[in-house]
Amino acid sequence: MRKIFSVFIVLSVLFFAGAESWASPTLDRIRERGVLIGATTDFDTAPFIISDGDEAKGFDVDLIHAIAKKLGVDAKVIRIPWDGGITNAWTDGYDWSLFDIAASTITITDARGQKCLFSEPYFVTGQVLLTRGSADGLKTHSDAKGTTLGILQGSTAGAGAESIGAIPLPFEKYDQILEAVLAGIIGGAVMDGPVAEDYARQNPSLKVVDGFLTKEEFGVAMPSGDDEMADLVNQVISERAESLKAKWF
């Protein structure tokens, strides 16, 4: 009995030592609160974020929960707008009072990285052209020259649209873009490959034109200068990214 009790004590010490091995003002604040607040978009970007009743599920949601577990706290996933919400992470003067991290198919860029800290990439993809599958839909990237294409406001999709000579038109949410595409108001849309493929699977009236327009590396956004938090998040990505890909793709 004494031997079993001793083993229990050793394992407990190791567990809590592991949970406390990262320390920074941000991490200390999260531990004191007992909850990691992770932000995702208030619209679906399957398979990364999927509405599930009043909750959300998906790759990015699971990643937030895995980071919280590594830190030894609960996870709270909040759903907020992309532009003016998620984009606060790389906005001058943001005090990180609304969320601790953001995981929401966020492309790592040099410009954004000057305002916030990014994890190592946890998923690599590219922007693609989504259009109508009917006869009036775009057949190739060249067909999009001079055509208006919907993009998510504040995203990196504008560069993808401009790379094929198209005119980017910003929308607040993906469902607004899809409505405009299906109604024939715009010629198509530029968005992340996996998200576009999922929309096309759900709606036979849509199709994805072959070929990536850009290269996109998704990362977790967190406060600048918090290298300890980045180390923790990167360890979780190293441990869990492949299993999450297997689960959601």
Residue 40 domain boundaries: 2-123+217-248
10 and 118, same structural domain? yes
pLDDT (0 to 100) of residue 161: 98
Quote the DSSP letter at residue 204.
T
Short-list 132, 85, 95, 99, CA closest to 224: 95
Query: Beta 188-192 vs 127-132: how paired, if at all?
Result: antiparallel
pLDDT of residue 22: 76
Confidence of residue 37 (pLDDT cuts 50, 70, 90): very high
The whole-number pLDDT of residue 80 equals 97
For 168-189, what is the mean pLDDT? 97
pLDDT digits (tens, 9 = 90+) for 193-245: 999 999 999 999 999 999 999 999 999 999 999 999 999 999 999 999 999 99
Same domain, 173 and 224: no
Q: How many CB atoms are closer than 10 A to CB 48?
A: 27
- Mean pLDDT over the full length of the chain: 92
| Distance of alpha carbon 124 from the chain centroid | 11
Total domains present in the chain? 2
What local confidence, expressed as pLDDT, does residue 25 receive?
A: 84
Task: Indicate the pTM of the whole model.
Answer: 0.90
- The three-class DSSP label of residue 153 is coil
Mean pLDDT for 130-141 is 95
CATH number at 189 reads: 3.40.190.10
